[in-house]
Amino acid sequence: MSELVNDISIVEEPEETLSMNPRKFILWLFIVSIIMLFAAMTSAYLVRRAEGNWLEYDIPSIFSYSSVVLIVSSLTMHWAYLAAKKDNFGSLKIAITITFVLGAIFLYMQFQGWIELVNENVFFVGNPAGSFMYIFTGLHGFHLISGIIVLLVALIAAFRLKIHATSLNQIEIAATYWHFLDILWLYLFFFLVYFH
């Protein structure tokens, strides 16, 4: 009996490891780096503004309207995600297309905002107040272009029926990034309105 007890080895179950899709992990790293970039920039804005010699000007009114466009695009992106979960391919394609178009409209409106700034004699060079406005909106616009590219890739995948209830990674990545960009813009917009 004692020999039998000695021969029995205790087999431990391996601990379950947390796993994440590598593309989602990279996306989250990218999002964290963007947050750090804009946190540093908004801190620099506050420090520089406190030093004085700060140009006072009106924030372009079109930025308010473009914010609404971006909020609506977040709703259509969520609609796309829900449609993918239900294998509603028609709604999925329509929702991603609308989100894509709204993103392009937002970029156009941002460009119109820059034209308003120029008409107010607010330029990239000169007073730092204008420089920060162009940098904030330009960097966000650059990231939004990358978001539109992610949407385009998801749209192509949707038309090829590669996004469906059992394959949601691509739409989840697109939705996460898009919602993040929308939240980032709202943060920047309210920051600029409040601390302008």
- What is the maximum span of the chain, computed from C-alpha positions, in angstroms? 94
Q: Are 96 and 175 in contact (CB under 8 A)?
A: no
Q: How far apart are the first and last CA of the chain?
A: 83
pTM: 0.88
Question: With 80 as the cut, is the pLDDT of residue 130 above it?
Answer: yes
**∠ Cα 158 169 27 (to 5°):** 115
Q: What is the pLDDT of residues 151-196, one digit of tens each?
A: 999 999 999 999 999 999 999 999 999 999 999 999 999 999 999 8
Backbone angles phi, psi at 167, to 5 degrees: -140, 80
CA distances from 78 to 24, 71, 86, 118 (A): 17, 11, 13, 36
CA distances from 94 to 77, 98, 99, 147, 169 (A): 10, 6, 9, 17, 19
Q: What is the pLDDT of residues 19-62, one digit of tens each?
A: 778 999 999 999 999 999 999 999 999 999 999 999 999 999 99
Distance CA(166)–CA(60), nearest Å, equals: 44
Distance CA(29)–CA(47), nearest Å, equals: 27
Question: With 80 as the cut, is the pLDDT of residue 113 above it?
Answer: yes
Burial of 143 (0-12, 13-18, 19+ CB in 10 A): buried
> How many residues can be counted in the chain?
196
DSSP code for 166: T
Could you give the domains of the chain? 20-195 (1.20.120.80)
